[in-house]
Amino acid sequence: MDHLYRFEHQGAARHAVERDGVWRLVEGDVFGTYRLGAEVAPAARPLAPVLPSKIVAVGLNYRDHAAEQHKALPEEPMIFIKPSTAVIGPGDPIRLPPGVGRVDHEAELGVVIGRTAYRVPRERAGDYILGLTCVNDVSARVLQAKDVQFTRAKGFDSFAPLGPAVALGLDPRALDVEGWVNGERRQASNTRELIFPVDHLVAFVSFVMTLLPGDVISTGTPAGVGPLAAGDRVVVKVQGVGALSNPVVAEP
């Protein structure tokens, strides 16, 4: 399984592909034509693997999460957008804004779009996927309940950790998804439990809007979401992708 990382190399952000523990620089365009170049040392702290123009997130896409939120199962995907300014990478702090009340972790599988996608047929969805990553859909829960829509609750800076890598060629249909806080597992499910699977989501979202290379569809979170506090460390694990770890701090 190849993993695509983004990291600082000689003063610039570069991509590298890790294969069997060996990292090689990407020469060319990761969303087009590229080759693998020189071997490099693994990065101690990778950057967010992509810089999406938008993250299209899906609400209530696991049956158990809908139940814990006391919501009926949706008849079609419930989508909202997290801005690009919310993105942080592995090891970057999730910043708790002052006065917003409870802020929750949400462990999710992220689907990274590989080429421009508009009104993609479901049976061709895989042709438009670069790979899979981990997402933490951090959410200001009090604001989410208060507002009619989710933009404010989900859109704060640092509320979209991504990474640590993009797994290339990984089948999304049966992957374990877990959320951990301070070494305690709080969320555990499998993408088999998705109400709307990945191919459905790519077709549905791309019918509404053009997805650009590097955009991410965050596929929803399983049950077990819970609050974060300053000093916590939250980890999202997706089978075959890796572990995305971020500290939590209070923003003055």
Please tell me the chain's helix, strand, coil percentages from 3-state DSSP, rounded to the nearest 5: 15, 45, 40
- Residue 8 sits in the same domain as residue 127: no
- Residues 52, 84: contact at Cβ < 8 Å? yes
pTM for the predicted model, two decimal places: 0.97
* Host domain of residue 67: 54-250
- Residue 193 sits in the same domain as residue 97: yes
Q: What is the pLDDT of residues 94-145, one digit of tens each?
A: 999 999 999 999 999 999 999 999 999 999 999 999 999 999 999 999 999 9
Residue 45 counted as domain residue = no
Residue 47 counted as domain residue = no
What is the DSSP track for 136-180? E--EEHHHHHHSSSSHHHH-STT-EEEEEEEEET--GGG-EEEEE
- Residue 126 sits in the same domain as residue 161: yes
pLDDT for 35 beyond 90: yes
- Residue 64 sits in the same domain as residue 115: yes
In angstroms, how far apart are the furthest CA atoms of the chain?
A: 52
**Tell me, what's the pLDDT at 227?**
98
- Residue 118 sits in the same domain as residue 166: yes
- Residue 166 sits in the same domain as residue 131: yes
- Residue 11 sits in the same domain as residue 62: no
First-to-last C-alpha distance (Å) of the chain: 42
- Residue 24 sits in the same domain as residue 95: no
Residue 202 counted as domain residue = yes
- Residue 226 sits in the same domain as residue 182: yes
Residue 49 counted as domain residue = no
- Residue 84 sits in the same domain as residue 170: yes
Instruction: Tell me the pLDDT band of 252, cut-offs 50, 70 and 90.
Output: confident
- Residue 123 sits in the same domain as residue 201: yes
- Residue 122 sits in the same domain as residue 224: yes
Could you give the C-alpha distances from 173 to 96, 192, 197, 203, in angstroms and in order?
A: 33, 6, 7, 16
% of the chain exceeding 90 in pLDDT: 94
Question: Average per-residue pLDDT in the chain?
Answer: 97
Q: Is 188 left (phi over 0), alpha (psi -120 to 50) or beta?
A: beta
The CATH number for 139's domain is: 3.90.850.10
Q: What is the pLDDT of residues 152-181, one digit of tens each?
A: 999 999 999 999 999 999 999 999 999 999
Q: What is the pLDDT of residues 56-87, one digit of tens each?
A: 999 999 988 888 878 888 999 999 999 999 99
**Tell me, what's the pLDDT at 65?**
82
Residue 92 counted as domain residue = yes
- Number of folded domains that form the chain: 2
Residue 151 counted as domain residue = yes
Could you give the C-alpha distances from 21 to 7, 30, 43, 148, 149, in angstroms and in order?
A: 16, 19, 12, 47, 43
For residue 243, what are the contacts with CB-CB under 8 A and spacing of at least 6? Answer: 134, 164, 235, 236, 237
